Chain A
Amino acid sequence: MQPVSREFKIHSSKALLDEKLSAALARTQDGFGGQRAAAVEALPEFQKIRERALRIKNHTLEHLDYYLEKFEREVQAAGGHVHWARTPEEGRKIILDLCEQAEARTVIKGKSMVSEEMALNPALEASDIEVVETDLGEYIIQLAKEPPSHIIAPAIHKTREQITELFSENHAQYGLTEPVTEVADIVHEARTVLREKFINADVGITGANFLVAESGSTVLVTNEGNGDLSSTLPKMHIITAGLEKVVPTFDDLSTMLRLLARSATGQEFSVYTSVFTGPKRNTDQDGPEELHIVLLDNGRTEMLGNEFREMLRCIRCGSCLNHCPVYGSVGGHAYGWVYSGPMGSVLTPLMVGLGEAADLPNACTLNGRCEEVCPMSIPLPRMLRALRVRQFEEKLVGSRVRASLGAWTWLATKPRLYQAVTGLGMKMLARLGRKNGSIRSLPLAGGWTQARDLPAPEGETFMQAWARQNRNRGARQ
C-alpha cells in the first residue's frame, strides 16, 4: 500500500472520535494483554526461553549471509526455488511473472504482511487476476477495501454489525439473502464461498513466520487452517517472507514457537503450525507442483549494518501493539502503512523514508511497555529515540521547535541566569493561578491547555526559597 503516514495527525484525531473503534481497541488490548500475561505466568521458564531466543536470533543475524545461502541450497535440494527481491517492486515483478507463467486467473492468499509491503494485491488485480484473501480477518478487510489495522488481527477495528453489513453487500452475488449476524454463521458463510475459491485457484500465496536453514523449510502458523489449503490445493505455491525470518535449525524454531503464540494471543501454540519443504514429491498425495520462495529485503540488509539491527529480531507477534497506549488510543490505520504500533513506528520510517513518516517516532511517550513485553527484547524506545536523533540531524525537525529548544538549552546551561528568569516567570504564573490553583489557558501553551489545566506554581521557586533560607540560616548563626 502507498504510505499515508504523513497524515498521522489527521488520521489519529479522526480515530479518537470513532467510538466503535475505541471500544474495539479497548477489548483487544484487555483481551490479548490479559491472555499474554496469563500465558507467561503459566510458564515459569518464559524468561529463560526469551534469553535463548535472543541468543539464537543474534547469532543468526551475525551470520545471516551464511544461513540464507544455506537455506537457499536446501530449498533447491528439495526441489523449490528461491527468488531475491531487493525492493517491493522487484518482489511484485517476480510474483507477477510467476503468476503469468502459471497462467493464473485466481490467486488465493494466506495472510502475509510482506505481500502488503509489496502492495501485491492491487498489482495482481491490475493484471486481471482475481485475488482472494483466505484468512477470515483479511477476507473481511478485503471486502471493506481497507488495509489491515493489526499485524495478527487485521480486522480488529471492525464491529460485528459492520461485518454483517459487508457480507450482505458482497455475498448477494453468491446467493446470500439473509443478514449473517452470529459469529458461527459469519464463519460458515465465509467458508462456503472460500471453499469454491480454494478448489479453483491456480496459485496460492502465503507468508512465512520462520525459515529453517538446515532443511530449507518454511513454517507458517495460523488459527484457521487457511494456510494449509492455500498452499496445498493450487498447482503453484508462492511464499513471501522478509529475509530476516531465517533460523538455523528446527531446535531453534521450537524455541521461537514457544514464544510466538504466547506473546501474540496468549495461546500456548497456534492451532496450525505448518511446515513446507519443497513441492509435492512423487510419494505425496497432494501439494503444489511448484514451490517458490520470494525473500524481500526492502531496507533489511541496511538495518543489519546500523543501529537498527535489533529490529530484525522481530517475530511479528503484535505484543507491542497490544500493550502500547498510543496504539490502543488510535488503532493501526492512523500509522498509515503496513505496520503499526511501536514496531511499525520503527519499521515504517526505515522502509518508506523518515520524511514520509516523521510523526511516527515522535508519537510515543517512551514509556517502555513495548520493550517489556517484546519476546525478542527489542529496545523499541531506544530505536524510536535514535530515529528522533536522525530527524534532528537531518533537520527534519521544524525550525520553530529547533529555535525554542536551542534557546532553552542555552538557558539551561547557565544556572544563574536560568534561575533569575524562571523565578520571575513563576511569580507571574502563580498570580494567574492563585484563585483556582490552576490555569485554564495560557499563550504559547495551547498544546498543554487544550486538554488540561496548568497546575499553578507555588510562586517562589525551590532554588529561590533554598537561597533565602540559607541566607536566613547564615544570618542567625
Chain B
Amino acid sequence: MKAVDKPASTENPSPSVGLFVTCLVDLFRPNVGFAALDLLEQAGARVDVPQAQVCCGQPAFNTGDEKGTKAIAQGVIAAFEHFDYVVAPSGSCAGMIREHYPVLFAQDPKWSGRAEAVADKTWELISFLNDVMGVDDISASLDGNYTYHDSCSGLRELGISHQPRNLLSAVRGLSCSEMKDSNVCCGFGGTFCVKYPDISERMVNDKIRNAVDSGADYLLGGDMGCLMNIAGKLSRDKVDLQVYHVAEVLADRTDVSPIAGRTPEQRTRSEDS
C-alpha cells in the first residue's frame, strides 16, 4: 500500500476516492452503495471499494470501549489512507472518522498523524458532491414531495443541511415540503434505540407525526440508521410514507422498494388479495 504524501487539491478533476460503504448500507441497503458509486463516478472521481472494510467503530465507541474502537479504527485508517478522499454515504460514520478518530489517537504518537490525515480527507457523500466536486448536474427524476430529516451527526458535526436540499432541488418532478423539527433526533442513537426502546419509540413517533403533517410522499435522509428506524416504525404503523436515502434519489435508483417498504408488485398483490 503506498501512502500519498499530500492530499489532492480540489482542482484535481478526477481524485481517487475510497468508498467507505458503512456497515448498514453493506448489510441492509446495497442500493445506497451503488448509488454512491454512480454519483461519485458521474462527478469524475476514480472510485475504489477496499475489501478490508467493515465498520467505523461507533458501536464500541459509544459503549465506552476505547480499546475495541481503536482496533477497528486502525483497520479503517490502514485501508483508506492511500486515497485522495474517503467518502461515506453517512454523516454519522464520516463524522466518526473526521471528528473522533483524531481525538481517539491524540495520545498515540504512532497513530495520531495517520488518524488526522485520514480525518482531513474524509467526507460525507452528499457534502462531498456539493462542496468538493461542485456537482450541479443531476439527471434523476421522481414525482412528488419530499421531506428531509436532518440526521444529527451530519448536521452538527459536519454542517450538512443545505447540500442535500440543494442537490435534491435539481431532481425533476420533486419538490420539498419541510417538516417541523426536521433537525430533532429521530430516536435512533445506535444502541440507544435497543437499550431504551420506549423512549426511542416516543421520539420516532414525534418524527413521524411531523413528517406526515408535512404532506410529503417521501421521507429522505442521509443516514441508514435513522432511515431504518423511521422506516421500521412507519412499517409497523402501516403509514404510507416512502423512505429512501438521498443518494438513491440523486442517482435515480428509486425503482427498488423503499426502505422497509414493499415493491410496487408486492403492493399490487396484497391489494388484490
B51 within 8 A of A: yes
Q: Which of B33, B34, B71, B256 is in CB contact (< 8 Å) with A413?
A: B71
Closest Cβ–Cβ distance, residue B64 to chain A (whole Å):
3
Q: Which residues of chain B come closer than 8 Å to A455, judged between CB atoms?
A: 28-29, 228, 231-232, 235, 259-260
Q: Which of A364, A387, A450, A462 is in CB contact (< 8 Å) with B33?
A: A462
State whether A388 touches B156 (Cβ < 8 A): no
User: Known contacts A325-B184, A426-B27; is A418 also within 8 Å of B54 by CB?
Assistant: yes
Interface string of A33-74 (1 = CB under 8 A from B): 000000000000000000000000000000000000000000
State whether B231 touches A450 (Cβ < 8 A): no
Of residues 407 to 441 in A, which have CB atoms within 8 Å of B's CB atoms? 408-409, 411-413, 415-416, 418-419, 422, 425-426, 435-438, 440
Of residues 244 to 273 in B, which have CB atoms within 8 Å of A's CB atoms? 256-263, 266
User: Known contacts A437-B261, A448-B194, A461-B27; is A454 also within 8 Å of B152 by CB?
Assistant: no
State whether B21 touches A463 (Cβ < 8 A): yes
State whether B185 touches A392 (Cβ < 8 A): no
State whether B233 touches A447 (Cβ < 8 A): no
State whether A452 touches B232 (Cβ < 8 A): yes
A4 within 8 A of B: no
Q: Which of A412, A435, A451, A456 is in CB contact (< 8 Å) with B198?
A: A451
From A392, A452, A463, name the one whose CB has the most chain B CB atoms within 10 angstroms: A452
Give the CA-CA distance A118 to B55 in the complex, in Å.
46
State whether A409 touches B202 (Cβ < 8 A): no
State whether B153 touches A368 (Cβ < 8 A): yes
State whether B193 touches A447 (Cβ < 8 A): yes
Give the CA-CA distance A372 to B232 in the complex, in Å.
29
Closest Cβ–Cβ distance, residue A413 to chain B (whole Å):
5
- The majority secondary structure among interface residues of chain A is helix
State whether A325 touches B187 (Cβ < 8 A): yes
State whether A364 touches B189 (Cβ < 8 A): yes
Residue ID in chain B nearest A389 by CB atoms:
B64
Closest Cβ–Cβ distance, residue A335 to chain B (whole Å):
12
Q: Which residues of chain A come closer than 8 Å to B65, judged between CB atoms?
A: 392, 405, 409
Residue ID in chain B nearest A467 by CB atoms:
B51
State whether B33 touches A406 (Cβ < 8 A): no
State whether A406 touches B187 (Cβ < 8 A): no
Give the CA-CA distance A426 to B25 in the complex, in Å.
12
State whether B64 touches A422 (Cβ < 8 A): no
State whether A453 touches B232 (Cβ < 8 A): yes
Give the CA-CA distance A220 to B189 in the complex, in Å.
38
Of residues 291 to 316 in A, which have CB atoms within 8 Å of B's CB atoms? none
Q: Which of A419, A425, A426, A451 is in CB contact (< 8 Å) with B233?
A: A451
Q: Which residues of chain B come closer than 8 Å to A285, judged between CB atoms?
A: none
State whether A365 touches B185 (Cβ < 8 A): yes
B63 within 8 A of A: yes
B195 within 8 A of A: yes
Q: Which of B55, B194, B199, B232 is in CB contact (< 8 Å) with A412?
A: B55
User: Known contacts A409-B65, A451-B233; is A458 also within 8 Å of B201 by CB?
Assistant: no
State whether A448 touches B235 (Cβ < 8 A): no
State whether A405 touches B59 (Cβ < 8 A): yes
- The majority secondary structure among interface residues of chain B is helix
From A325, A364, A462, name the one whose CB has the most chain B CB atoms within 10 angstroms: A462
Q: Which residues of chain A come closer than 8 Å to B266, judged between CB atoms?
A: 435-437
Of residues 181 to 221 in B, which have CB atoms within 8 Å of A's CB atoms? 183-185, 187-190, 192-204, 206
State whether B156 touches A367 (Cβ < 8 A): yes
State whether B232 touches A367 (Cβ < 8 A): no
B140 within 8 A of A: no
State whether B26 touches A463 (Cβ < 8 A): yes
A385 within 8 A of B: yes
Q: Which of B28, B49, B59, B199 is in CB contact (< 8 Å) with A329?
A: B199
A126 within 8 A of B: no
Give the CA-CA distance A391 to B195 in the complex, in Å.
15
A457 within 8 A of B: yes
User: Known contacts A330-B199, A462-B21, A462-B30; is A447 also within 8 Å of B185 by CB?
Assistant: no
From B26, B53, B68, name the one whose CB has the most chain A CB atoms within 10 angstroms: B26
Q: Which residues of chain B come closer than 8 Å to A413, judged between CB atoms?
A: 54, 71-72, 75
Give the CA-CA distance A418 to B72 in the complex, in Å.
13
Give the CA-CA distance A91 to B107 in the complex, in Å.
40
B135 within 8 A of A: no
State whether B192 touches A365 (Cβ < 8 A): yes
State whether A452 touches B64 (Cβ < 8 A): no
Q: Which of A368, A369, A390, A397 is in CB contact (< 8 Å) with B63?
A: A397
Give the CA-CA distance A329 to B197 in the complex, in Å.
12
State whether A437 touches B157 (Cβ < 8 A): no
Give the CA-CA distance A362 to B63 in the complex, in Å.
8
State whether A364 touches B64 (Cβ < 8 A): no
Q: Which residues of chain B come closer than 8 Å to A411, judged between CB atoms?
A: 54
Q: Which residues of chain B come closer than 8 Å to A365, judged between CB atoms?
A: 152, 185, 187-190, 192-193, 200, 203
State whether A326 touches B156 (Cβ < 8 A): no
Q: Which residues of chain A come closer than 8 Å to B206, judged between CB atoms?
A: 325
State whether B152 touches A368 (Cβ < 8 A): yes
User: Known contacts A389-B64, A466-B49; is A452 also within 8 Å of B199 by CB?
Assistant: no
Give the CA-CA distance A337 to B126 in the complex, in Å.
43
Q: Which residues of chain B come closer than 8 Å to A90, judged between CB atoms?
A: none
State whether A436 touches B262 (Cβ < 8 A): yes
Residue ID in chain B nearest A323 by CB atoms:
B184
B143 within 8 A of A: no
Q: Which residues of chain B come closer than 8 Å to A364, judged between CB atoms?
A: 189, 192
State whether A415 touches B52 (Cβ < 8 A): yes
User: Known contacts A368-B157, A462-B26; is A390 also within 8 Å of B235 by CB?
Assistant: no
User: Known contacts A409-B71, A412-B54, A451-B200; is A436 also within 8 Å of B64 by CB?
Assistant: no
Give the CA-CA distance A454 to B28 in the complex, in Å.
10
State whether B198 touches A463 (Cβ < 8 A): no
Which residues of A pack against B, CB within 8 Å? 9, 12-13, 16, 325-326, 329-330, 362-369, 371-372, 385, 387-393, 397, 401, 405-406, 408-409, 411-413, 415-416, 418-419, 422, 425-426, 435-438, 440, 445, 447-448, 450-458, 460-463, 465-467
The 7 A-B residue pairs with the shortest CB-CB distance, nearest first, are: A365-B189, A447-B194, A388-B64, A392-B64, A452-B232, A455-B260, A367-B152
28 inter-chain pairs at a CB distance below 8 angstroms, sorted by A residue, are: A325-B184, A325-B185, A326-B203, A329-B203, A365-B189, A365-B190, A365-B203, A367-B153, A367-B156, A367-B185, A405-B59, A408-B60, A412-B55, A415-B75, A426-B28, A435-B266, A436-B262, A436-B266, A437-B235, A437-B257, A437-B262, A438-B235, A451-B204, A458-B31, A461-B30, A462-B30, A465-B30, A466-B33
Which residues of B pack against A, CB within 8 Å? 21, 25-31, 33-34, 49, 51-55, 57, 59-66, 68, 71-72, 75, 152-153, 156-157, 183-185, 187-190, 192-204, 206, 228-229, 231-233, 235-236, 256-263, 266
